Structure 1
Amino acid sequence: MILTPEVLTLFILNILFAFFAIIAFVLSVKIFLQWDLNATTQRQYILEKQSFLAATIIKYIFAIKVPLFLFFIFTLDKISHVLTGAMCAAGVVDATQYGTYLLILKVINLYIFAYWLMLHRADMKDENQPYTKRKFGLFIAAFFLFMAEVIIEGIMFGAIDVDKMVSCCGSLYSSSATSYVSNIFRIDTEVLLVLFYGNFLLMGLFYLLKNRYLFALSNLSFIVSGVITLIAFFGMYIYQLPTHHCPFCFLQNDYYYVGYLIYFLLFIGTFSGIGAGLLPGSNTSRNKSYKISLLFNGLYVLLLSLYPLLFYVKNGVWL
């Protein structure tokens, strides 16, 4: 087990979150099964008060959990300095069999938690609260994912052996690696770039067609194409090394923490786009989500594209 101030902070917060989440879960099940806004009974009156309490608890848990993801990544990077062989968070993730699964689960939860906050905001804006059952039903499902995240996170940090040699990102993210990530490097660069830029152009087309479901689907696929292309192609221009493809190292001071900006743009852009397709509401609010999605995804594409272009202008060759 490894215990640092950052890890202890995560443990304490997770315990507090789990305690209040259990309370909110019990109330959510009751509200989801018995909610009837048209009823004028004493039970409905009690449910309305309980719904406000439960929603407030959930709102603050999720509102903290979403940005806390960045602190989790920062913690992994900080821990890498005490693990032999690790150069960044990649070594910590690979230090146990739980790291990769935890990271994937956290990313999934990140979108679910943020979607719940968006749904709750839309529900509270309408005096009829049309999405009350939906948001509590969503939390019931999200609760199990949340608890799984808390448990796996505790197991992962508990399973880290500080005396054990771990793999560095150079060996993990290379074509010679034996992990599933190595399959990325077997795809032709031209194919990856066509998929990446083509995905973004399709996003713009679906916006013009005002097809919110295809727009949401294109944003969902952009998460995959955006991350894969970042690792396989754009990463080596950020590092200016043809053999360096790590998706974590550019979160460090040596690269001016640009990774946080890159992932922030991708998350806001894709989440807004997915939200435009999933969240019921007026055309005004949906158009706002469209524009936010295109803006942040566009900035993501522009920022990544600048790295190889500037490298070519400076050196006259491609990597």
Structure 2
Amino acid sequence: MTLSPPILALFLADLLSLVLLVPAGLFALQLLRHWDPSSGRALQLRLEKRTYLVSAVVGLVFLAQLLLLPLFVHTVDRMALQIVGAMCAVGTLNANAWGLPALLLRIALFFLAAAWLVLHRLDARAPDYPLTRTKYVLLLAILPLTLAAAGVQFAYFMLLDPDVITSCCGSLFSQGTESVTAHMAGLPALPTMVAFYALLTLTLMAGLAYLRWRRGLLLFAGLATLSFPVAIVAIIAFVSLYVYEHPLHHCPFCMLTGDYGHIGYALYLPLFGATGLALGLLSARLAGGDSLRAVLQRDAPHLVIASMAGLGLFAALSAWLSWQSNLILLGH
């Protein structure tokens, strides 16, 4: 397969990420062994000084990881024109055994990187750095995942054969198969709509309640995180049908193409952003700590508002797409 500039950019970004994260991981091991904010030892002072630099570098790497997911999806979507049988990103990803695992690893990295960035932001605003251990444990968990994502993505692109006939999205989301995606596509529209909008409404109400009384952050963060898989199911079950105006077209990727005005990006970006913020808040809230409570009281409302805005935008756009569509789905 010809290595286009986007593919080379993905390879280079993964290589640079690993070059920077491996030394950061070694530092994390040292920090977890010796970190003691109450100590005045010289080692603790050196760790505190080094953690500023390491955290800044890791933060830049994880910001880049947030951008690599849309770049990867856009790249495989554009490559559908070169793969026999592919109509969208689904066909390109199905061209060999490494495509879908590469996408899933990219999604996992996106959410973990977003959570780490939220933890780092909150940790830096507390006087005793209560989340330092938590975020470096998370870094050690992300490091092998980054290596796996880089390796799987490299195998996917290097083993991609444009002459191999792949399957289109219709086969993956066909209700006649026994796959998980087929079961999602076969869900009845009305109950799925009710469950989807009820969960989003409950999540937004929990967010408003937190902003009003500063209680229930764990509830909001948990509901907002849960909203992501429910939203993906809703896209496959009924939102996609209204976008394509076809009762049997359930693909969540075709809406990313120019044929549909790239409307999928307007749906997915706020959803992913809102979920990433919620996951970070959930991790911080579970980590606890007296000093962290004061930081959350001061800074969490801004993150809650941002997460609510993303979920609200996703819900509003989904409802608008359903309302303006020429497809009459309910009642048939």
TM-score between the two structures when normalised by the length of structure 1:
0.92
Could you tell me how far apart the structure 2 residues matched to 1:30 and 1:54 are?
12
**Contact 2:28–2:137 under 8 Å retained in 1:** yes
- Of the three residues 238, 250, 255, the one matched with 1:245 is 250
Residues 1:278 and 2:292 are matched in the alignment: no
How far off its partner does 1:74 sit? 0.9
Alignment CA distance shift 1:317-1:242 (3 Å):
closer
Measure the CA separation in 2 of the matches of 1:317 and 1:118. Answer: 40
- 2:234 is the alignment partner of 1:234: no
| CA deviation after TM superposition for structure 1 residue 316, in Å | 7.1
SS of match in other structure, 1:279: helix
Structure 2 gap ranges (5+): 286-294
Q: Distance in 2 between matches of 1:61 and 1:276?
A: 20
Q: How does 1:1-319 map to 2 (within 5 A)?
A: 1-207=1-207, 208=209, 210-280=215-285, 281-311=295-325
Provide the aligned length of Structure 1 versus Structure 2.
317
Distance (whole Å) between structure 2 residues aligned to residue 145 and residue 195 of structure 1: 33
Does structure 2 retain, via aligned residues, the 8 Å contact 1:28–1:54?
no
Supply the distance in 1 between the matched residues of 2:70 and 2:123 (Cα, whole angstroms): 28
The C-alpha deviation readout for 1:95-135, integer Å capped at 9, x for no partner, is 12222222222212211101111111122223432222221
**Matches of 2:232 and 2:324, distance apart in 1:** 21
Shift of 1:182: 0.6
Q: Distance in 1 between matches of 2:204 and 2:12?
A: 43
Q: Does 1 or 2 have the higher relative contact order (CA < 8 Å, sep 6+)?
A: 2
Q: Which runs of 5+ in 1 are unaligned?
A: none
User: RMSD value over aligned CA atoms?
Assistant: 2.0
Contact 2:203 2:224 (C-alpha < 8 Å) held by counterparts: yes
How many angstroms apart in 2 are the aligned matches of 1:282 and 1:65? 25
In structure 1, what is the equivalent of residue 292 of structure 2? none
Q: Is the 8 A contact 1:275 1:289 kept in 2?
A: no
Q: 1:273 to 1:25 in 2, by over 3 A?
A: closer
The alpha-carbon distance between structure 1 residues 311 and 78, as it changes in their structure 2 partners (threshold 3 A), is: closer
Q: Distance in 2 between matches of 1:115 and 1:48?
A: 22
CA offsets 1:19-73 (integer angstroms, 9 cap, x no match): 1111111111111211122222222232223222321221111011102211111
Structure 1 segments, 4+ long, off by >6 Å, are none
Deviations 1:168-227 (A, max 9, x none): 122222213453211112321122112101111221343326322222221222111111
Q: 1:96 is paired with a residue of what secondary structure?
A: coil
Alignment check: 8 A CA contact 1:220 1:274 kept: yes
Preserved CA contact (<8 Å) 1:2 1:161: no
* TM-superposed deviation, 1:2: 4.8
Percent identity over paired residues? 28
Identify which range, 276-285 or 236-245, moves more after superposition: 276-285
For residues 81-108 of structure 1, give each alpha carbon's deviation from its aligned partner in whole angstroms, at most 9, with x where no partner exists.
1111111111111112222222222212
| Distance in structure 1 (CA, Å) of the matches to 2:239 and 2:322 | 7
Distance, in Å, in 2 between the alignment partners of 1:89 and 1:317 is 26
What is the one-letter code of the residue matched to 1:227?
I
| C-alpha contact (below 8 Å) 2:256/2:265 kept by paired residues | yes
Alpha-carbon distance between aligned partners in 1 of 2:45 and 2:280, rounded to the nearest angstrom = 31
Q: Flag the 1:38–1:175 CA change in 2: closer, same or farther, 3 A.
A: same
